[in-house]
Amino acid sequence: MTKTSPLAVVHFQDQTAEMQCEESVLETLLRVGHKVPNSCRVGLCQSCLLKSDESFLKQDHLVRENAQQGLSDQQIQSHHFLSCCCYPEGELFAEKPDRNMDWLVEVTGHELISPTVLELRMKAEGRWQPGQHVLLWKDDLNARSYSIVSHPDRDGELVLHIALHQRGVVSRWCHAEVKVGDRLRLTEPSGYCVYDVQDSDRSLLMVAVGTGLAPVYGVLQEALAQGHSGNIDVYLCASPHAEPYLCEQLLGLAAHHGQLQVNIVQAAPVQAATPPNPASEAQTLMDAVKKHHSSLRGAKVYLCGEGAMINDFKKLCFFAGASRHDIVVEEFVLAAQTNYPSS
């Protein structure tokens, strides 16, 4: 990753801030007291989006590419960038982004589908693909990403699965305060964790840790709707915030679709107090997978959910023969500590 030169300065809301070595634009702005929304800080959620001007075009090609990963063509052309991934050189002018493309949606369903997982249903006008994620705004500062379970035509509603984090700002608000009839703000769907019809006869391995089942269930239902003929193996794993859920529904689907196998693996301890051991959790899961697959050569792999074991398991899949390009990772990176009050 490109790091900031010590002479870089960022201009934002009539203030000029000198950037410190290895600081992103987001970190500089937070350090000098600006309230910039942010969550994952690794370029996944897009909550830290800002807009620049011609000064952005003067940045090195790699600086721009890194700061605009995953943005739409329209956002790229209008000089939007992710402030958590932007390490400019020289001068950069930044301002708040255009959010006029955000969706206003109406909550149509609010139901616990397990002791810790809320199913939130919304009436939304736009288009999306199951497995993509949206940014859900609690207020002007706090937004989090959630993966989409449903299909716009088959289901007619946008459906999210939200695990409760006891001290979490947005998940706790969704569980405790959001209600049917509320109008919520979402940023347009993005992401590449989707079904590809060109994979229709391939072997699919889908791993869901906790609410990683949201994108997995979305992609799985799309694969079945598209008549996927290859084998599909789904592995449901516990996470400290969500035990495997919807197990009966998945086993019911498997009973009707001969190519589908559903496996439940207790790879991680369910108590949040127990220290996680990602390498051993990933190995437990791989041992379970190896009972059915001696090799993952030619398979397409989806790894979705929260926890470091997702990345450890990705390496094991690679060692088991899966090609790097065929491993789709949707990691639920949690928010870093913010510098402003959460209310």
Residues engaged in binding ligand FES (CB under 6 A): 38-41, 43-48, 82, 84
Q: Cβ contacts of residue 74 below 8 Å, gap of 6+?
A: none
Nearest approach, Cβ of 35 to ligand FAD (angstroms)? Answer: 15
Backbone angles phi, psi at 118, to 5 degrees: -95, 135
Radius of gyration, alpha carbons of the chain: 21
Nearest approach, Cβ of 44 to ligand FAD (angstroms)? Answer: 4
Q: Is 114 in the site for ligand FAD (CB under 6 A)?
A: no
Distance CA 143, CA 14 (A): 25
Q: Is 132 in the site for ligand FAD (CB under 6 A)?
A: no
Question: Helix-strand-coil percent breakdown of the chain, rounded to 5?
Answer: 25, 25, 45
Q: Which x/- pattern, by CB under 6 A, does the window 187-226 give for ligand FAD?
A: ------------------------x--x------------
Alpha-carbon distances of 309 from 45, 111, 263, 332, rounded to whole Å: 20, 29, 17, 11
Nearest approach, Cβ of 43 to ligand FES (angstroms)? Answer: 5
The continuous run of DSSP H or E covering 66 comes out as helix 61-67
Between 167 and 256, whose beta carbon lies closer to ligand FAD?
167
Q: Tell me which of ligand FES, ligand FAD, none is bound by residue 162, counting a contact when its beta carbon lies within the kind-specific cut-off of 5 to 8 angstroms.
A: ligand FAD
Alpha-carbon distances of 58 from 62, 68, 95, rounded to whole Å: 11, 14, 17
Q: Do 327 and 318 form a contact (C-beta atoms < 8 A)?
A: yes
Nearest approach, Cβ of 92 to ligand FAD (angstroms)? Answer: 25
Nearest approach, Cβ of 42 to ligand FAD (angstroms)? Answer: 8
Q: Tell me which of ligand FES, ligand FAD, none is bound by residue 47, counting a contact when its beta carbon lies within the kind-specific cut-off of 5 to 8 angstroms.
A: ligand FES
Q: Smallest Cα–Cα separation from 217: which of 168, 260, 267?
A: 260
Nearest approach, Cβ of 24 to ligand FES (angstroms)? Answer: 8
The residue range among 94-102, 124-132, 275-283, 326-334 that interacts with ligand FAD, by the rule CB under 6 A, is 326-334
Tell me the CA end-to-end span of the chain in Å, nearest whole number: 33
Record the tokens describing residue 231, joined without a space: 């084998």
Nearest approach, Cβ of 142 to ligand FES (angstroms)? Answer: 12
Q: Tell me which of ligand FAD, ligand FES, none is bound by residue 195, counting a contact when its beta carbon lies within the kind-specific cut-off of 5 to 8 angstroms.
A: none
HSE-CB of 213 using CA atoms within 13 angstroms? 28
Helix (H, G, I), strand (E, B) or coil at 305: strand
Backbone angles phi, psi at 51, to 5 degrees: -120, 145
Between 37 and 244, whose beta carbon lies closer to ligand FES?
37
Q: Which x/- pattern, by CB under 6 A, does the window 151-190 give for ligand FAD?
A: ----------xxx-xxxxxxxx------------------
Q: Is 303 in the site for ligand FAD (CB under 6 A)?
A: no
Between 167 and 291, whose beta carbon lies closer to ligand FAD?
167
Q: Smallest Cα–Cα separation from 142: which of 37, 286, 287, 267?
A: 37
Between 56 and 332, whose beta carbon lies closer to ligand FAD?
332
Q: Do 231 and 203 form a contact (C-beta atoms < 8 A)?
A: yes
Q: Is 343 in the site for ligand FAD (CB under 6 A)?
A: no
- Binders of ligand FAD among residues 35 to 64 (CB under 6 A) are 40, 44-45
Query: Residues in the site for ligand FAD, rule: CB under 6 A?
Result: 40, 44-45, 133, 144-147, 161-163, 165-172, 211, 214, 330, 332-335
